[in-house]
Amino acid sequence: MILALVGNQNSGKTTLFNQLTGSNQRVGNFPGVTVDQKFGEIRFAKNCTVVDLPGIYSLRAYSNEEIITRDFILNNKPDGIINIVDATNIERNLYLTLQLIEMQIPIVLALNMMDEVRANGGTINIRVMSRELGISVVPISAAKNEGIEELINKMINDAKNKHYPKRIDFCEPGPVHRCIHAISHIVEDHAEKLGMPPRFAATKIIEGDAHIVSRLKLSQNELDMIEHSIVEMETEHGMDRDAALADMRYSFIEKLCGRTVVRPRENREYLRSVKIDSVLTNKYLAIPLFLGIMLVIFWLTFNLIGAYLSDWLALGITALTNLVDHGLIFLGINPVVKSLVVDGVFAGIGSVLGFLPIIITLFFFLSILEDSGYMARVAFVMDKLMRKIGLSGRSIVPMLIGFGCTVPAVMATRTLSSERDRKMTILLTPFVSCSAKIPIYALFTAAFFTHYKALVMIGLYLSGILTGIVVALISNRTFMRGKPVPFVMELPNYRFPAFKNVMLLMWEKARDFLQRAFTIIFIATIVIWFLQNFNLRLNLVSDSNGSLLAAIGQWIAPIFKPLGFNDWRISTALITGLTAKEAVVSTLGVLTQSTAAELPSVLSSMFTPLTAVSFLVFTLLYTPCVAAVATIRRELGSAPKAAGLVAAQCGIAWIISYVIYNLCRLILY
């Protein structure tokens, strides 16, 4: 049995999905977090799969999310639909419900956040609402896991017994009623061949859904008759076709809520949010406060909590490495094998794992901001600035996701309705510093900028963002001319972050980091160790300067000499960074044969503070990992465009590093 989970953004849909499946799905408080369809087996129902579809406000097919949802329901024909609505904002949420009812699939309405409605003195007459809509209605609280089993039992029962919605006509006799019924009769035969309800097809035609019209394969005579009916309705009703349908639905919703909803007192959460927003979204204070919040997070992560935990883990890894080293010597293991284990695997993976606490700490704070509802305000506040570079505030969502990983960030651009906005956001997202670069930043700040870690970190993040802004301004005036689409967004009430959601996000990041450490980075360290220890004739070398790796690195090194670093080991680390950015640190660990604790002091012989800055700027801006490039190629649908983006990023990184290095040399020396 397949069940589709459909609802507005910020209605608690993904939280309900987590409760149903127990899966570690990301829960966010800003629109666009659910881009792809997510599948999960329901824990307390055998052979029952629920599909988490993107959050939408209607089936109008204006945005990619709406098209994904519409096409899934039409093409996959799920056994039932769980329509989750925010009971504290029921009028707007029911607009989608009426459209889903027209699709004639068993549907259960889940009234979420009923605990908040009751806490504020409101009630909803479930029995009357169920009768008026002709579907089952169940009150729930997804966050508190209340009413979930009743909801599923009702849904499975309705799906098994084919309890279709009893009512699909939501308009009183009049021009709209006559128009819908006339078109329904015209398209009835065509719609039934496709397994599509005639009334749903009729409303989609009135809304101008070109995809539905083309699928119905109507004759020109039928199209002319339909257009005549619509024009007649517009003339008689005094509204255009879109407004007439919206008026029909909202008129029904208004009467329904008048009979079933006792409105609560002014929501306490809403009043609290208004007071907080008067400061956090203030015209003059919003951006300085955002930067201040991020600075505090970076200070706690890189100067205090994360750094402290990372130092302890690094000592533990060093102790384990020494223990294994002595154990292998005691057992008389071949020196080459011992070198592979200690100088290759432990030096490579150990140097990366030492930064795991920093990544977890950073995402602990970011998940609190996200789950509280603050990230939605960031998108709202940034809209005005984003428009100046040719994008809307909606583009900030993929960029915020980019702080975690470029791959899901690029995929999140699918939520943008404008193809121009989507391509431009894909172009800019790699300039946002992903979490994979954190080990590089943490290593170099520990080695060269001990007393200014937080400032250097926020400086790097801001530098990436500023570079993206400059690239956007140039693009907007050259090959990507155009205006951004209108930006409409709902700001959710501030809520105390759910401990479960914060822990899930932290675990997700830790798991992703560990998977890379023991797959891509593990393979990369073994390859680097092999190339470092053998020459062209595959003989073991005593000095790595005569190795295969040295030959490759020395060939590449002149490219980076103008940036201040001519050591072949540094050039090699940058190349391996294309597989995964953490591999830069692991490669330096292998090449210098240093443990995580020793590496910062070893780097001081390879870099000066000035060349370290140049290196950090280059790693900040040069092309993301192979996985991100593959995702960009898939989203752009073009390998040459993806290759062009990689070349452009590497070129921009080289130029900016060159300018900063030589400018600082001129000033300092």
Can you give the pLDDT at residue 318?
83
- pLDDT tens, position by position, 140-172: 998 888 999 999 999 999 999 999 998 777 877
What DSSP designation does 340 have?
I
Contact 432, 645 (CB under 8 A): no
pLDDT band at residue 183 using 50, 70 and 90 as cut-offs: very high
Whether residue 207 sits in one domain with residue 67: no
Q: Is residue 577 part of a domain?
A: yes
Domain of 62 in residue numbering reads as: 2-160
Comparison of pLDDT for 285 and 306, the residue scoring more: 285
Can you give the pLDDT at residue 542?
77
Distance CA 632, CA 431 (A): 13
pLDDT band at residue 519 using 50, 70 and 90 as cut-offs: confident
Whether residue 448 sits in one domain with residue 395: yes
pLDDT exceeds cutoff 90 at 465: no
Whether residue 356 sits in one domain with residue 416: yes
Task: Report which of 10, 14, 267 is spatially closest to residue 117, judged by C-alpha positions.
Answer: 267
Q: Is residue 267 part of a domain?
A: no
Average pLDDT over residues 491-501: 78
Q: Is residue 220 part of a domain?
A: yes
Can you give the pLDDT at residue 155?
95
pLDDT exceeds cutoff 60 at 28: no
pLDDT exceeds cutoff 60 at 657: yes
pLDDT band at residue 488 using 50, 70 and 90 as cut-offs: low
Whether residue 231 sits in one domain with residue 101: no
Whether residue 60 sits in one domain with residue 183: no
Q: Is the dihedral of CA 59, 63, 66, 70 positive or negative?
A: positive
CATH of residue 31's domain is 3.40.50.300
Percent pLDDT > 90 in the chain is: 25
Whether residue 575 sits in one domain with residue 449: yes
> Mean pLDDT across the chain, nearest whole number?
84
pLDDT band at residue 379 using 50, 70 and 90 as cut-offs: confident
pLDDT exceeds cutoff 60 at 111: yes
Whether residue 199 sits in one domain with residue 141: no
pTM of the model: 0.67
Q: Is residue 17 part of a domain?
A: yes
Whether residue 192 sits in one domain with residue 151: no
SS3 of residue 52 by DSSP: strand
Whether residue 201 sits in one domain with residue 73: no
Can you give the pLDDT at residue 543?
73
Distance CA 563, CA 659 (A): 9
Residue where a domain terminates, one of 133, 160, 187: 160
Q: 637-664 burial by CB neighbour count: b if 16+ within 10 A, else e?
A: eeeebbeebbeebbebbbebbbebbeeb
Contact 394, 416 (CB under 8 A): yes
Can you give the pLDDT at residue 516?
67
Domain count, the chain: 3
The C-alpha R_g of the chain, in whole angstroms, comes to 29
Distance CA 418, CA 423 (A): 9
Average pLDDT over residues 224-248: 91
Whether residue 300 sits in one domain with residue 397: yes
Q: Is residue 251 part of a domain?
A: no
Which amino acid does the sequence have at 354?
G
Can you give the pLDDT at residue 189?
92
Whether residue 78 sits in one domain with residue 142: yes
Q: 574-584 burial by CB neighbour count: b if 16+ within 10 A, else e?
A: bebbbbbbbbb
CA distances in angstroms from 514 to 324, 355, 360, 599, listed in the order given: 21, 11, 11, 20
pLDDT exceeds cutoff 90 at 231: yes
Can you give the pLDDT at residue 616?
93
Distance CA 310, CA 301 (A): 10
DSSP 625-637: -HHHHHHHHHHHT
Q: Is residue 556 part of a domain?
A: yes
Can you give the pLDDT at residue 427?
86
Instruction: Tell me which of 188-197, 495-504, 660-669 is least confident.
Output: 495-504
Task: Report which of 79, 58, 78, 73 is spatially closest to residue 9, judged by C-alpha positions.
Answer: 58
Whether residue 187 sits in one domain with residue 59: no
User: Which H or E element spans position 1?
Assistant: none
Can you give the pLDDT at residue 29?
41
- pLDDT tens, position by position, 311-364: 888 888 888 888 998 999 888 888 888 888 887 788 777 767 776 887 788 778
Distance CA 531, CA 29 (A): 47
Residue where a domain terminates, one of 135, 160, 185: 160
User: Where is mean pLDDT largest: 57-61, 229-233, 394-398, 433-437?
Assistant: 229-233
Q: At what angle do helices 241-260 and 90-101 cross, to 10 degrees?
A: 110
Q: Is residue 21 part of a domain?
A: yes
- pLDDT tens, position by position, 605-630: 888 889 999 999 999 999 887 778 87
Residue where a domain terminates, one of 160, 188, 212: 160
Can you give the pLDDT at residue 32?
44
What DSSP designation does 172 have?
-
Q: Is residue 441 part of a domain?
A: yes
pLDDT exceeds cutoff 80 at 501: no
Distance CA 605, CA 465 (A): 31
- pLDDT tens, position by position, 382-422: 877 788 888 877 787 778 777 777 876 787 677 676 778 88
Can you give the pLDDT at residue 141?
93
Distance of CA 644 to the CA centre of its chain: 24
Q: 450-488 burial by CB neighbour count: b if 16+ within 10 A, else e?
A: eeebbbbbbbbbebbeebbbebbeebbeeebeeebbebe
